[in-house]
Chains A and B, each alone.
Chain A
Amino acid sequence: MLFEERPQGVESEIAQLEARLHDMRAQLDQSTYPTPPSSHPDKSWTLPSSTIYNNKNPQFNSNTTRSTSLHALLLLSDSALPLGSFAFSSGLESYLAHNKSRRTNANPVSSFHHFLKLSIASIASTSLPYVLAAYRHPQTLDTLDNDLDASTPCVVAQRASVAQGRALIGVWERAFRASFASPGKCMSDNYEDAEAKTATSAIDEFSDALKSSFEDVDEYDLGPRGHFAPLWGVVCRAMGLDLQQTAYTFVLNHAKAVLSAAVRASVMGPYQAQNILASQSLQDTIMARIEREWNTEPEEAGQVVPALDLWIGRHELLYSRIFNS
């Protein structure tokens, strides 16, 4: 009896599942392409990845692909983007050195998870407000640059931020500007075109000021520095990304850089790093931090992880270093 009843139960379940699968397939075929978030900047949170998903559209629509900022998004999230981010570990190397002696029994991977979480919270609370403000008001770029410089408590972190910010200007001028700043290109919408133009001219002005200034001209009248966060906001705007994409790529790229540093510092292997990068919990963490800082004005930005400032500042005291921060 037992032997006969079991397969029957399984069979009915298979039939049920098949019916459900059929229904789901039908539903999927009917569904249309989801609206890209770029057309609804004020809409509630949607993952940027949802725009490039769902490939069931029967016909390839080149206009849809073009009007979304997919191409620019992929360029800016490319780890091969020559910003030199690989040279910085954002305090990871110093953190590992400081915690080696204290907690020798702790697993390096779980210790790293702790660091990554702190690091994301910190970059979101200290830098993200500047990214958002620069995107929203590109013309305030020089003020944001000055204020972020004033708010960065140690030379190690300043160096890292300025090196990447200047590299970003370099990439923009030598590579992206020709394709994204020419009038009418890629953007059918006039309003968006004007927005991108404002951002482009803001970068141009800032870049000119940067080139014509000398380091520390005066005690109180300091020249532009070229910090990364505000420049990221303006460049993303000039390239047609929406604000959510701008914020998400900023924090995700930071996570990528920290994970990449972890691989090179022999904390974990490359597959494990990709595993963390792909994980839902990382996505959730990034989203939660962005949402938290979405309305934070730059003057309200601050360090939520005081310990991180100490680790980054003490990077210079490491006997041996493989990273610049």
Chain B
Amino acid sequence: MLQPGQRRPLSPPPNNPTLTTLTYKYPLKLVPRAPGFVPSPDTSALSDSCPSRPIHLYLLTYGGGLLPGDHIEVTIKLEPKTRMVVTTPQGSTKIFKTEPGNDNGVSVIKGHRKKMPANDHLSDMSQQSLDVRIGRESALCYLPDPSVPYQNSRYAQIQTFTVDASARGDQRSSLCVLDWVTQGRTSRGENWNFRFWKGRNEVWATDEKTGKSRLLLRDSVILDDETQDDLASDDDEDNEETSHELNPHPDGADVPPQAQAGLLPLNVIQERTRPHGVVGTLILSGPVFDRLGTFLIEQFTSQPRIGSRNWSSSESSSAPEGTPTSRGDVTWTAARVRAGFVLVKFGAKDFETAKHWLGGLLREEGSIVREFGEEALFCM
């Protein structure tokens, strides 16, 4: 059940971009939207290059999500000096659950992640791959809704972005990519109860002439509940790991038993994401997002120091919470890692909090609205 879809925009005159190819197959649907927004040359970061109007592409799936075995492939090529906005107008990408009946043979290779992609034993896993080639001076703004994996679901997503390795300075390709995942449907009490979720984002620099590629950035998060249904022995092993912790004091001399017991009901994924209900990554690179990156780094470094005391007033001594946009509920970090990339990682108690926080920051800085229009923040 391979469902590929492809599209490529091209824009010989930068101001009038067109789609040269647009194809898709069930269950994927791609809907282009006539560009309504024109970035003004005066306000754009790259006024001399006269940026093109961004093409807006809606990424849709029938039913608003992915069923077990669905495999979506999206290939996008941005020619030089083009811009594209990709959003998910259906809301979060729902990852429907894998029926427990059809996973014979799946659990056997569960522990070896090497075989995960393109393995026919894992036909019940939903997969999505996005491959975007971003030419010089072109820019991609991809701020989708988060993926919401339902109980017992399995999902793997690989997003590859390729930039032009020979471009330098202001001619570099730009990208802004958000990838986030939630604990599931909280209304149904789901709390990281899926089986497997993997999100991998890679940025490669490829030199068209020599054909050489170099990995610039790889962000990979693997949430695996590490259960192996039909292997009783391995199951025991897992249980042991969870229950015994690393506690060398079974007599409880130093560890109060209730503290230990408090950790027991958590599954492996809950333990590793705690206390967050949503985790995510924002990747920024290139001249169009330089200002935004700098802004986010400044915001991060100006957060109140952890563990500092406010000596002037004894009342609010240790309360870093309560900053203007109530950022206390969001734990985040920003770093300028390499090759000019700014990487933001965050965890928040729920989707609404994360959305409000990130949307607030992006609007406050203003680059995205200025360069791509308000519709780029459709999901924020």
* Inter-subunit contact B339/A153 (CB<8 Å): no
- Candidates A155, A316, A318; contact of B336 at CB < 8 Å: A155
Bound-complex Cα distance A126 to B366 (A): 35
* Inter-subunit contact B248/A281 (CB<8 Å): yes
Chain B neighbourhood of A319, CB < 8 A: 305-308
Chain B neighbourhood of A7, CB < 8 A: none
Bound-complex Cα distance A307 to B347 (A): 7
Bound-complex Cα distance A94 to B305 (A): 11
Bound-complex Cα distance A278 to B249 (A): 12
Known: A155-B335, A306-B221, A319-B307. A114 touches B345 (CB 8 A): no
Chain B neighbourhood of A282, CB < 8 A: 246
Bound-complex Cα distance A284 to B247 (A): 12
* Inter-subunit contact B338/A151 (CB<8 Å): no
Known: A220-B214, A297-B114, A319-B308. A149 touches B338 (CB 8 A): yes
Contact code string A299-319 (vs B, CB < 8 Å = 1, else 0): 111111111111001101111
Q: Is A100 part of the binding interface, using a Cβ–Cβ cutoff of 8 Å? A: yes
Known: A306-B272, A309-B345, A310-B345. A153 touches B305 (CB 8 A): no
Q: Is B256 part of the binding interface, using a Cβ–Cβ cutoff of 8 Å? A: yes
Interface residues of B in 254-288 (CB under 8 A from A): 254-256, 259-260, 263, 271-276, 279, 281
Q: Is B374 part of the binding interface, using a Cβ–Cβ cutoff of 8 Å? A: no
Q: Is B301 part of the binding interface, using a Cβ–Cβ cutoff of 8 Å? A: yes
Bound-complex Cα distance A220 to B168 (A): 9
B209 CB → nearest A CB, Å: 14
A309 CB → nearest B CB, Å: 5
Contact code string B199-237 (vs A, CB < 8 Å = 1, else 0): 010000100000000111111111110000000000001
Interface residues of A in 98-144 (CB under 8 A from B): 98, 100-102, 106-107, 109-110, 113-114, 116-118, 121, 125
Chain A neighbourhood of B281, CB < 8 A: 153
Bound-complex Cα distance A114 to B266 (A): 12
Chain A neighbourhood of B165, CB < 8 A: 220-221
Bound-complex Cα distance A317 to B327 (A): 15
* Inter-subunit contact B246/A117 (CB<8 Å): yes
B-side interface mostly: mixed
B299 CB → nearest A CB, Å: 12
Known: A151-B218, A295-B112, A296-B113. A107 touches B245 (CB 8 A): no
Q: Is A19 part of the binding interface, using a Cβ–Cβ cutoff of 8 Å? A: no
Chain B neighbourhood of A149, CB < 8 A: 338
Bound-complex Cα distance A20 to B272 (A): 47
Contact code string B142-176 (vs A, CB < 8 Å = 1, else 0): 00000000000000000000010100100010000
Chain B neighbourhood of A296, CB < 8 A: 112-114
Known: A154-B335, A306-B345. A113 touches B223 (CB 8 A): no
* Inter-subunit contact B305/A118 (CB<8 Å): no
* Inter-subunit contact B339/A110 (CB<8 Å): no
A143 CB → nearest B CB, Å: 8
* Inter-subunit contact A219/B259 (CB<8 Å): no
Known: A303-B221, A307-B272, A310-B345. A318 touches B245 (CB 8 A): no
* Inter-subunit contact B255/A310 (CB<8 Å): no
* Inter-subunit contact A303/B218 (CB<8 Å): no
* Inter-subunit contact A281/B246 (CB<8 Å): yes
Contact code string A240-272 (vs B, CB < 8 Å = 1, else 0): 000000000000000000000000000000001
* Inter-subunit contact A314/B248 (CB<8 Å): no
Chain A neighbourhood of B214, CB < 8 A: 146, 220-222
* Inter-subunit contact A219/B340 (CB<8 Å): yes
* Inter-subunit contact B237/A288 (CB<8 Å): yes
Chain B neighbourhood of A97, CB < 8 A: 306-307
Chain B neighbourhood of A306, CB < 8 A: 221, 223, 272-273, 276, 279, 345, 347
Interface residues of B in 319-375 (CB under 8 A from A): 331-340, 343, 345-347
Q: Is B190 part of the binding interface, using a Cβ–Cβ cutoff of 8 Å? A: no
Among residues of A, the one whose C-beta sits closest to the C-beta of B216 is A150
B223 CB → nearest A CB, Å: 7
Q: Is B16 part of the binding interface, using a Cβ–Cβ cutoff of 8 Å? A: no
Q: Is A13 part of the binding interface, using a Cβ–Cβ cutoff of 8 Å? A: no
Bound-complex Cα distance A151 to B271 (A): 23
Chain B neighbourhood of A146, CB < 8 A: 214-215
Contact code string A195-236 (vs B, CB < 8 Å = 1, else 0): 000000000000000000000100111100000000000000
Among residues of B, the one whose C-beta sits closest to the C-beta of A312 is B333
Contact code string A274-300 (vs B, CB < 8 Å = 1, else 0): 011011011011001001100111011
Bound-complex Cα distance A109 to B71 (A): 45
* Inter-subunit contact B335/A153 (CB<8 Å): yes
Q: Is B36 part of the binding interface, using a Cβ–Cβ cutoff of 8 Å? A: no
Q: Is A320 part of the binding interface, using a Cβ–Cβ cutoff of 8 Å? A: yes
Residue contacts A-B, CB under 8 angstroms, 17 given: A97-B307, A110-B245, A110-B256, A110-B259, A118-B271, A153-B335, A153-B345, A220-B214, A222-B338, A275-B248, A285-B246, A300-B116, A302-B220, A306-B221, A310-B333, A314-B331, A317-B306
Which chain B residues have a beta carbon within 8 Å of chain A's beta carbons?
111-114, 116, 163, 165, 168, 172, 198, 200, 205, 214-224, 237, 240-241, 244-248, 254-256, 259-260, 263, 271-276, 279, 281, 301, 303-308, 318, 331-340, 343, 345-347
Closest 5 CB pairs of A and B: A313-B333, A302-B220, A319-B308, A319-B305, A279-B248
Further contacts, 9 of them, CB under 8 A, given A110-B260, A302-B220, A306-B276: A154-B335, A219-B340, A220-B205, A303-B221, A303-B222, A306-B279, A309-B345, A317-B301, A317-B304
